Amino acid sequence: MQEVVLKIEDLSKVYRLGELGTGTISHDLNRWWYKIRGKQDPYLKLADVNDRSKAGGSDYVWSLKDINFEVKKGEVLGIIGKNGAGKSTLLKILSQITSPTTGEVKIKGRIAALLEVGTGFHQDLTGRENIFLNGAILGMTKEEIVDKLDEIIEFSGIAKYIDTPVKRYSSGMMVRLGFAVAAHLEPEILIVDEVLAVGDQEFQDKCIGKMKSVSNSGRTVLFVSHNLSAVQNLCSTCMYLKHGQIQEIGSTSKVIESYLSENKNVQLTGEIPADFYRQYTNGEAYFRKIVIKDSDENIIDKLAFNQPFKVALELEAIKDLKNVMININVGTTLGQPVLYAVDKKGPVYVGRDLNKGKHTIEAKFNTRLLPGNYSFTIGISYLANGSTIDWVENVYFISVDKVGYAKEGNYPWDDVHGYIEPDTNWNYN
């Protein structure tokens, strides 16, 4: 049996909501008064479960509650969950940036967290000087950095500019340099947060490759990401956090599957429940329903290849809305955006005025989606400044079949390249 290198017991974290300012001194004094009488912190009892879609009655929220798990040596654990599920809080506690409210974390070996690349870069110093500074901030000693300096510069791919102040760098170069330093850290436990979201494809591949080699060398990695394909690719086990609690932990493909299927119950009725997780909403309007229909008005979740479809939405405006625009985003189930559809007349984007009350909106799509699984995200925002009113992510799923629609032909191949088949005209001379 492999040795346990990270053990988390009954870990919880409470955050205070709202403005700090008035009231905090009185809360502090009150807390202190309870403490000297040997009683429990009175504000902890009030805390709500971390569910952002419901307005809680309390100013205090459990960002994490009763987390228990173990990680064995050499394991690569993926952590997934929606925004606000507590992933970042967990990382911050593990990397000692903030302390837990209750519970304990036990760690064996050196732990390093990579929550950002290039932390502490100083604009006026050269790339080389910043390698030393950044490396030291991440916990390397000077000798370690000197030993690996050539490797780091080589890995960053910006050897030519290494003696130029970093303020002259492009943001891409800065990220490369930062990751190059981080990649040469050699802790027993490495925590990585979404750093892969930046940089071009070549660079991302390089990062994934580096992380794979880290885990192959027997070190432990905790990887937090929204990028499900990267998690699938890298992690042997996966943890799904929901509302600050562990929803599921186990083999990666199983956990990802149940994470995705969570949203599928919308599909049965088309109703978006009031407690459905919303990425962002300002409370001026809510999407209440979404269904996808074929041209005969049947509700469907499967399309034939080349089949046209309609997205039907029901929106409840809480107040009169002026100059707003609804957008429908189609993406892959692994989170890759595919297309962004908005209301347009000719070349002009159209803003609509919606009165208070319920509206039904239908958008007809003539897009030829290539076979595969797609997820729908809907949003409404102001046309003028783009500020979001309501945004509901991954709310509906469809799969596109290889069998052709009506008299159109089937999709003939096993491999599918890309997501959309555009209208093209071909000329041979």
Partner 1 sequence: MNAKQNWDLIIKPKASWHKLHLGEIMRYKDLLFLFVKRDFVALYKQTILGPLWFFLQPIITAITFTVIFGNLAHIPTDGVPQVLFYLSGITLWNYFSDTLTKTSDTFTANANIFGKVYFPRMIVPLSVVFSNLLKMGVQFFLFILVWVYYLMRSDQIHPNSVLLLVPFLIILMGLLGLAFGVIISSLTTKYRDLKFLVVFGVQLLMYASPIVYPLSMVPQKYKWIILANPTTSIIETFKYAFLGVGEFNWMHLAYSLVFTIIFLIIGLIIFNKVERSFMDSV
The dihedral built from the CA positions of residue 264, 267, 269 and 271, taken in this order, carries a sign that is positive
Q: Which stretch binds partner 1 (CB under 8 A): 3-11, 75-83, 391-399, 420-428?
A: 3-11
Answer for which of 137, 299, 350, 420 binds partner 1 (CB under 8 A) is: 137
44 is a contact residue toward partner 1 (CB under 8 A)? no
- Please tell me the count of residues contacting partner 1 according to CB under 8 A: 47
CA 37 – CA 131 distance, rounded (Å): 51
DSSP string across 363-388 = EEE---BPSEEEEEEEEEEETTT--E
CA 331 to chain centre: 14
181 is a contact residue toward partner 1 (CB under 8 A)? no
CA 425 to chain centre: 39
| Distance separating the N- and C-terminal Cα atoms of the chain | 68
Q: Which is nearer to partner 1, 135 or 331 (CB)?
A: 135
Answer for which of 64, 76, 93, 328 binds partner 1 (CB under 8 A) is: 93
CB 183 within 8 A of CB 134: no
CB 240 within 8 A of CB 259: yes
15 is a contact residue toward partner 1 (CB under 8 A)? yes
Alpha-carbon separation of residue 167 from 128, 133, 173 (angstroms): 13, 15, 10
Answer for which of 46, 133, 334, 361 binds partner 1 (CB under 8 A) is: 133
Q: Which stretch binds partner 1 (CB under 8 A): 13-21, 210-218, 300-308, 381-389?
A: 13-21
CA 181 – CA 178 distance, rounded (Å): 5
DSSP-assigned beta bridge partners for residue 4:
72
30 is a contact residue toward partner 1 (CB under 8 A)? no
Q: Which is nearer to partner 1, 4 or 299 (CB)?
A: 4
Tokens of 52: 């952002």
- Which residue is associated with the tokens 């009655």? 57
120 is a contact residue toward partner 1 (CB under 8 A)? yes
124 is a contact residue toward partner 1 (CB under 8 A)? yes
Least CB distance to partner 1 at residue 150 (A): 19
Least CB distance to partner 1 at residue 138 (A): 6
Taking every pair of Cα atoms in the chain, the longest distance, rounded to a whole number of angstroms, is 92
Least CB distance to partner 1 at residue 105 (A): 4
20 is a contact residue toward partner 1 (CB under 8 A)? yes
Least CB distance to partner 1 at residue 100 (A): 5
CA 56 – CA 58 distance, rounded (Å): 5
Note the residues at the interface with partner 1 (CB under 8 A).
Answer: 1, 3-4, 7, 15-16, 20, 24-25, 92-111, 113, 115-116, 119-120, 122, 124-125, 129, 132-133, 136-142
